[in-house]
């Protein structure tokens, strides 16, 4: 197999380009349900109450698929190679999204979103792992931020396509984009770092290794916890901004798909910016702390807009998106903390564990509503998430400039 034998100082390599476009398609498909949720569920005959409850259920099922898929693709990435995941995952979620255009019931919808989630789980981790291994340690953070920044605009494109086409056509377009991307994947080589490990007689992609060593287990859990604010913001505050708006006395209707679009414009900008900030500070953790502060401030504004306006809600969703634009650094840190024989497993499972934590966050959010109001339940969930993530970040080791040419034993 062709391979990239040496690292490069360029942040514009073919691998970076293809990983960025792959993540673009991934995010388009991942966020499309949030964007067309109300219209699509209404189209298949659900009333307003069912749209809320079934919407929560379907997004939870999709995230469960991401959780399961993250483990499967992560293991494959270390056992079979990064490229095998990039090819296999995109075929699966492209087919699933085309099928998604034909669903007629909410149960069919949930099943197909689960399968799509399985496929979507492999894209980011494999791409970030490959880019991390072929880019010099000095430029690694810039490359992965570029991947995320370009990729996250997929949600913005999904919004504008949803404005022009029926929701079923939006899913067909997503599937088509995936198959087009396969042609570009042919030009990408496997990393030389992985090829060297591939011939070594050591355990590769052994998921149980995260739980058999105390220090490794601690690194793994902390790596997951620092990413929780991202899907608290996107999966609860942004996705259900219409419900929060009603409860806050905002007279104008809030469109979740518009909230998502504004949030992801800001996330895309922030994900590029955080790479520059991290490079300037020579630290991943310091950059992460800065964006945590932005997130906390934005959450504060979100829950103090009683009687506000739709424009204010969209602006705050953008601010929330900017604050949680640390996804690139978060996944890069996951890749940097583990050896080459476990790196794809870590970089793929960790972000999908965060995505898969959304059903748990929704459970906490809904559970708190039995004791307090809808709005306060959202706030208390956010306080819990931020406290846990800040503590996890404090105990996480700095990874900036770390040499990745090592293995786990």
Whole-angstrom distance, CA of residue 365 vs CA of residue 33: 20
Give me the mean pLDDT over the 367-376 stretch.
96
The band of 5, judged by pLDDT with boundaries at 50, 70 and 90, is: very low
Going by C-alpha positions, the residue among 298, 259, 336, 11 that lies closest to residue 146 is 11
Percent of the chain with pLDDT over 70: 97
The reply to whether 333 falls in a domain is yes
What pairs with residue 135 in β-bridges? Answer: 8
Residue 93 has a pLDDT of 93
* CATH code of 346's domain: 1.20.1250.20
Phi first, then psi: give them for residue 190, nearest 5 degrees. Answer: -70, 155
The reply to whether 63 falls in a domain is yes
The reply to whether 193 falls in a domain is no
Going by C-alpha positions, the residue among 14, 209, 223 that lies closest to residue 130 is 14
Residue 189 has a pLDDT of 73
The reply to whether 366 falls in a domain is yes
Going by C-alpha positions, the residue among 141, 78, 133, 333 that lies closest to residue 220 is 333
The two structure tokens encoding residue 369: 């509503």
Q: Is the per-residue pLDDT at 60 higher than 60?
A: yes
Give me the mean pLDDT over the 255-260 stretch.
92
The band of 3, judged by pLDDT with boundaries at 50, 70 and 90, is: very low
Residue 1 has a pLDDT of 41
The reply to whether 202 falls in a domain is no
Give me the mean pLDDT over the 306-326 stretch.
95
Note down the domain range covering 114.
Answer: 8-185+207-395
CA dist list (Å): 310 to 59, 244, 261: 24, 11, 14
CA dist list (Å): 88 to 148, 288, 320, 343: 20, 32, 33, 18
pLDDT digits (tens, 9 = 90+) for 191-223: 778 788 878 888 888 999 999 999 999 999 999
Residue tagged 């104008």 (tokens): 252
The reply to whether 195 falls in a domain is no
Q: How many domains does the chain have?
A: 1
How many residues are listed for the chain in this entry? 409
CB atoms within 10 A of CB 102: 11
Least confident among 105-109, 111-115, 183-187, 384-388: 183-187
The two structure tokens encoding residue 95: 């087919």
More reliable by pLDDT, 136 or 283: 283
The two structure tokens encoding residue 1: 């197999």
The reply to whether 194 falls in a domain is no
Give me the mean pLDDT over the 38-53 stretch.
91
Q: Is the per-residue pLDDT at 140 higher than 90?
A: no
pLDDT digits (tens, 9 = 90+) for 80-124: 988 888 888 989 999 999 999 999 999 999 999 999 999 999 888
Q: Is the per-residue pLDDT at 56 higher than 60?
A: yes
Phi first, then psi: give them for residue 3, nearest 5 degrees. Answer: -150, 155
Per-residue burial over 130-151, b = 16 or more CB atoms within 10 Å of its CB, e = otherwise: bbbbbbebebbbbbbbbbbbbb
The reply to whether 192 falls in a domain is no
Residue 6 has a pLDDT of 53
């Amino acid at each position: 197999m062709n391979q990239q034998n040496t690292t490069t100082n360029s942040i514009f390599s073919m691998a970076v380009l293809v990983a960025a476009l792959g993540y673009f398609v991934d995010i388009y498909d991942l966020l499309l349900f949030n964007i067309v949720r109300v219209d699509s569920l209404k189209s298949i005959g659900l009333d307003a109450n069912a749209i809320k409850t079934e919407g929560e259920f379907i997004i939870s099922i999709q995230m469960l698929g991401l959780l399961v898929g993250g483990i499967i693709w992560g293991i494959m990435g270390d056992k079979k190679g990064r490229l095998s995941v990039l090819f296999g995952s995109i075929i699966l979620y492209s087919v699933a999204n085309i099928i998604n255009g034909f669903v007629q019931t909410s149960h069919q919808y949930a099943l197909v979103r689960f399968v799509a989630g399985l496929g979507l789980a492999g894209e980011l981790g494999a791409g970030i792992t490959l880019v991390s291994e072929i880019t010099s340690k000095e430029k690694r953070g810039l490359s992965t931020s570029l991947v995320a920044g370009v990729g996250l605009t997929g949600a913005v494109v999904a919004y504008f396509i949803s404005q022009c086409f029926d929701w079923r056509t939006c899913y067909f377009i997503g599937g088509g984009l995936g198959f087009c991307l396969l042609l570009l994947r042919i030009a990408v080589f496997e990393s030389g770092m992985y090829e060297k490990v591939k011939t070594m007689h050591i355990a590769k992609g052994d998921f149980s290794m995260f739980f058999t060593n105390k220090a490794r287990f601690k690194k793994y859990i902390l790596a997951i916890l620092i990413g929780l604010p991202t899907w608290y913001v996107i999966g609860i505050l942004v996705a259900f901004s219409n419900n929060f708006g009603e409860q806050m006395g905002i007279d104008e209707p809030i469109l979740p798909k518009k909230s998502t679009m504004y949030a992801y414009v800001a996330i895309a900008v922030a994900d590029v910016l955080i790479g520059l900030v991290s490079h300037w500070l020579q630290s991943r953790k310091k950059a992460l702390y800065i964006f945590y502060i932005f997130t906390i401030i934005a959450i504060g504004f979100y829950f103090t807009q009683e009687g506000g306006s739709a424009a204010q809600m969209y602006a705050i969703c953008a601010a929330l998106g900017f604050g949680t634009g640390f996804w690139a650094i978060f996944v890069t840190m996951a890749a940097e903390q583990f050896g080459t024989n476990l790196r794809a497993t870590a970089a793929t499972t960790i972000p999908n564990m965060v995505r898969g934590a959304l059903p748990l966050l929704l459970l906490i959010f809904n559970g708190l509503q039995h004791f307090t109001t809808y709005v306060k339940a959202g706030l208390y969930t956010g306080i819990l998430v931020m406290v846990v993530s800040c503590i996890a970040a404090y105990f996480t080791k700095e990874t900036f400039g770390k040499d990745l040419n090592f293995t786990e034993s």
